[in-house]
Amino acid sequence: MAWTGVGAMGVASTGGVAMGGATTYNIAAGPLRTALVNIGETAGITIGLADSALGEIRVHAVHGRMSTAAALSHMLAGTPAWFRQIDAQTFLVVRRSPPAPLRHAVRATIPPPIPEIVVTGSKRSAALSNYPGSVAMLDPSDLSRAEAARGSDTLVALLPILSSTHLGPGRNKLFIRGIADSSFNGPTEATVGQYLGDVRLNYSAPDPDLALYDIGSVEVLEGPQGTLYGAGSLGGVIRLQPTPPDLTHWAGSLSAGIANTAHGTASGDGAIILNVPLIDDRLALRMVGYGSLDGGYIDDPSRGKSAINRTITRGGRMTLRFAPAPDWTIDLGGVRQDIDSRDGQYATRGLPALQRASVIAQPFDNDYSLASLEIHHQMGTVSLISATSVVDHDVGSTYDASPAIATPTRYHEQHDIMLVTNETRLSHRAATGGGWTIGIELLRSADRLRRTLGPAGAEASLAGTSNTVEEASLYGEATLALGSRWFATAGGRLSVTRQVGDVLDLASGDDDHDRHALAALPSIGLTWKAAPRLAFYARYQEGFRPGGIAVQAGAVQHFEGDSVATWEAGLRYGAAGDRFSAVAALSYAHWEDIQADLVDAQGLPYTANIGSGRIAGIELKSSWRPTDTLTVDGALFANESDLSKPDPAFAGEKDASLPNIADLTLRLGFTYHMQFAGRPISLTGSADYVGHSRLGVGPLLDLHQGGYVETRLGMSVPVGRVTLSLAANNLLNARGNIFALGDPFGVTNADQITPMRPRTVRLGATVPF
């Protein structure tokens, strides 16, 4: 089980705590989050923070030569935080539990507190042990910088319950726990809500695919999250928690890497992170800038081109934090990222491996911009949070339409999205383990989809669409402690939605479609703490998406809103830092009026309701530390779905499986810490099996994919202040088909495959300053 919150993966220094000696510390008083990073970098150790709410408490300065345990003891004295040593190189900072009253004054002992993991996505910082639902968590040790440039692919590789369409960087759709609508991008709203802290990143767009530099933790809330997150969370929610600005200390780091891909061209990546206090304890700026080049490995001999699928990513993130008082913070943030792919990453069956034959290039670009304002105020035990954001997201895709039209033809679509949101909420976390949150949310999403088709340089406009959604919601959820072992959770959301649809570039017809909808989304859950480290839970949740309009064969088509109701039950065993922990969950979802973006026989996209379906899933996760230096983890997600009540237009698909979700996904990994020549060395490895799935619904899209194994191996070693890393992906150089689509205009040929990226070896370095 991963830890939430912010941890520090420090660079090593010889003679540190791992060798049983002392280290010279010079740590200033300030926020706990910053102090832990500084201790980790000084001693060359890993420190996890189990409760992210502790990150902003002020701790004592530490100066002098001492052991890490002594440094942490001095730093945390008199605070609500304490620490636990996991192994020679790993510590966990936890919230102190108040001592229970002593029944016997003589020979009485107080058991050590159980480390508390906090689910910040609950919007009231609920303890995981009391949380009635499935949640996957990743901490900084999971999100190593060697993988940060890969963005969402890193999350998909680490979490079997998360899957992707694998169309290419910046153009994928993400799915959680089997809630997958289709393989194509279109005007439908995403099934997964994505957030940067409390700021919404997406609505009716593909995955922004932000690089994961300077991300402190990740939470994936599984199952529909309609009560707390509203529309667009049918499958769940992904929350990226960025490292906040430090108001008192300068800090920074540089990282860079070069990589070689078999049968491909070289790759490279680099990033700089800088924290600048402008006014001590009042104003600070934190900045991240990065860039990467992913070398291509697909050849097109028919055009005399090689390594055509090169991708360049450039981006940055900035947060300006102002703290006018100890209980107030105001964050002004911005994100900018551009992804440019020179061509698609698919190949063609019947040709030599990693080759295809196409008539024209098929470039893609994803330009993403975000501006945000977050206000946090602590009023005793009640927190006030207000988050406002504006997203400008432009996605351009070009496809080779020649296979369908028999002459050199280009199809281009431009999808422009403007998203404005505001959420304001109050929350309270009770000492008994209960708590509540209540809030309002306003959202406006406007997307315009324009399309052209024709010979290069002479394309003609096709009918496009404009869909605008305006939503106002009131929501609340509360957890009540029923004694010391039982916790009941209930909540609801009331949303009023207005949808306005227009048809673009169509000479005739009614092009104004205005509809209103009212949605009520309840949730209820129950948790039983059967033992200090064992909890059982059950939960019922709902989610929905509004409808809209699309165009098929020049005619306006309405697609209705869809909804998901999910029942789940599970258990959790263990606490952060335990030698063994395990999670098991069963889920069943009923999905009404499924929206799906599809393509017709000519390859042109359209959107329709395909009917109602069912998804049953089982997931298992465990972590075992047989020795202080070795940790083994495993995970499984098995999925079975069917279109139980198809729409008349899809009657032949009754009981057919829903798209894109493998019937079985397995992961086995390990982490091993060792000492060599006085230096701590970390080794990591994993093997992942992704089972079979099909591309989409309908005979045209009944194409099979999956059934492959991905292997990875990594190593990191500190040399002075520099941490060197070596990573290899796809060690066996397998050629599995991860996605049976590249160009929708050639889908009728049933010969497209997306091969795994060939064996790639990366050498990287990170240095703090």
Residues 474, 594 within the same domain? yes
Determine contact, residues 442/469, Cβ cutoff 8 Å.
no
> Quick one: pLDDT band at residue 490, thresholds 50, 70, 90?
very high
DSSP state letter for 404: H
Residues 400, 252 within the same domain? yes
Residue listed under structure tokens 């060690």:
731
pLDDT at 144 > cutoff 70: no
pLDDT at 651 > cutoff 50: yes
Residues 494, 417 within the same domain? yes
Least confident of 264-268, 337-341, 521-525, 746-750: 746-750
Position 7 scores a pLDDT of: 34
Examine residue 100 and state whether it is found in any structural domain, yes or no.
no
CA distances from 27 to 285, 304, 517 (A): 20, 59, 56
CA angle 660, 468, 417 (to 5 degrees): 65
CA distance 282 to 275: 14
224-278: per-residue pLDDT in tens?
999 999 988 999 999 999 999 999 889 899 999 999 999 999 999 999 999 999 9
DSSP state letter for 745: G
Average pLDDT over residues 444-470: 91
CA 208 distance to own-chain centroid? 10
Examine residue 416 and state whether it is found in any structural domain, yes or no.
yes
Average pLDDT over residues 91-107: 58
Position 577 scores a pLDDT of: 75
Residues 676, 750 within the same domain? yes
CA distance 713 to 730: 9
- Count other C-beta atoms under 10 Å from residue 350's C-beta: 10
In the chain, the amino acid numbered 493 is R
DSSP H or E run through 567: strand 562-573
Examine residue 139 and state whether it is found in any structural domain, yes or no.
no
Residues 44, 191 within the same domain? no
> Quick one: pLDDT band at residue 2, thresholds 50, 70, 90?
very low
CA dihedral 368, 373, 379, 384 (to 10 degrees): -60
CA distance 369 to 333: 11
pLDDT at 6 > cutoff 50: no
19-75: per-residue pLDDT in tens?
345 677 778 777 787 788 778 767 777 787 777 667 778 788 787 777 788 888 878
CA 113 distance to own-chain centroid? 31
CA distance 40 to 47: 6
CA distance 200 to 388: 9
190-225: per-residue pLDDT in tens?
999 999 999 999 998 889 999 999 998 899 999 999
CA distance 132 to 701: 37
CA distance 490 to 523: 6
Determine contact, residues 257/295, Cβ cutoff 8 Å.
no
Q: Residue 203 class from Cβ within 10 Å (0-12 exposed, 13-18 middle, 19+ buried)?
A: buried
Helix then strand then coil, in percent of the chain rounded to 5, is 10, 55, 35
Domain that holds residue 41: 8-95
| Number of domains into which the chain is organized | 2
417-429: per-residue pLDDT in tens?
999 999 999 999 8
Percent of the chain with pLDDT over 90: 63
Would you call 595 helix, strand, or coil by DSSP?
strand
Q: Are strands 251-261 and 760-768 parallel, antiparallel or unpaired?
A: antiparallel
- Provide the CB-side half-sphere exposure for 506 (13 A, CA): 21
Position 542 scores a pLDDT of: 96
Handedness of CA 77, 81, 84, 85 (dihedral sign): negative
Residues 71, 159 within the same domain? no
> Quick one: pLDDT band at residue 98, thresholds 50, 70, 90?
low
CA distance 405 to 744: 13
pLDDT at 17 > cutoff 60: no
- Count other C-beta atoms under 10 Å from residue 720's C-beta: 10
Position 510 scores a pLDDT of: 52
297-354: per-residue pLDDT in tens?
999 999 999 999 999 999 999 999 999 998 999 999 999 999 999 999 999 999 999 9
Examine residue 343 and state whether it is found in any structural domain, yes or no.
yes
CA distances from 674 to 19, 68, 560 (A): 11, 19, 57
CA distance 263 to 49: 42
For the domain that residue 14 is a member of, what is the CATH number?
Answer: 3.55.50.30
Residues 79, 213 within the same domain? no
Determine contact, residues 649/613, Cβ cutoff 8 Å.
no
Examine residue 143 and state whether it is found in any structural domain, yes or no.
no
Least confident of 183-192, 410-419, 710-719: 183-192
Would you call 653 helix, strand, or coil by DSSP?
helix
Position 113 scores a pLDDT of: 58
pLDDT at 398 > cutoff 80: yes
Residue 664 β-bridge partners: 638
Domain limit, last residue, from 95, 117, 134: 95
CA 436 distance to own-chain centroid? 25
DSSP state letter for 299: B
Domain limit, last residue, from 95, 110, 139: 95
280-296: per-residue pLDDT in tens?
889 999 999 999 999 99
Domain limit, last residue, from 69, 95, 121: 95
Determine contact, residues 376/339, Cβ cutoff 8 Å.
no
**Please, which residues have CB within 8 angstroms of residue 91's CB and are 6 or more apart in sequence?**
45, 46, 47, 48, 68, 72, 83, 84, 85
Helices and strands (H, E) in the chain, number of each type: 6, 46
CA distance 391 to 418: 6
Determine contact, residues 307/296, Cβ cutoff 8 Å.
yes
In the chain, the amino acid numbered 597 is D
Residues 668, 747 within the same domain? yes
Would you call 750 helix, strand, or coil by DSSP?
coil
Position 107 scores a pLDDT of: 43
Determine contact, residues 239/233, Cβ cutoff 8 Å.
no
610-630: per-residue pLDDT in tens?
999 999 999 999 999 999 899
Residues 171, 86 within the same domain? no
Examine residue 150 and state whether it is found in any structural domain, yes or no.
no
Determine contact, residues 48/7, Cβ cutoff 8 Å.
yes
For the domain that residue 444 is a member of, what is the CATH number?
Answer: 2.40.170.20
Position 479 scores a pLDDT of: 96
DSSP state letter for 33: H
Determine contact, residues 286/243, Cβ cutoff 8 Å.
yes
Max distance between CA atoms of the chain, in angstroms, equals 92
Residues 180, 321 within the same domain? yes
Residues 82, 174 within the same domain? no
pLDDT at 553 > cutoff 80: no
Examine residue 138 and state whether it is found in any structural domain, yes or no.
no
CA distances from 91 to 49, 206, 576 (A): 9, 38, 10
CA distances from 375 to 198, 199, 386, 425 (A): 10, 11, 5, 11
Position 9 scores a pLDDT of: 32
32-43 vs 68-76: helix crossing angle, rounded to 10 = 170
Position 111 scores a pLDDT of: 54
What DSSP assignment string belongs to 238-294?
A: EEEEEPPPPSS--EEEEEEEEEEETTS--EEEEEEEEEEEEETTTEEEEEEEEEEEE
This prediction has a pTM of 0.87
Average pLDDT across the chain, whole number: 88
Examine residue 319 and state whether it is found in any structural domain, yes or no.
yes
pLDDT at 151 > cutoff 70: yes
Q: What are phi and psi of 148, to 5 degrees?
A: -60, -35
Residues 441, 560 within the same domain? yes
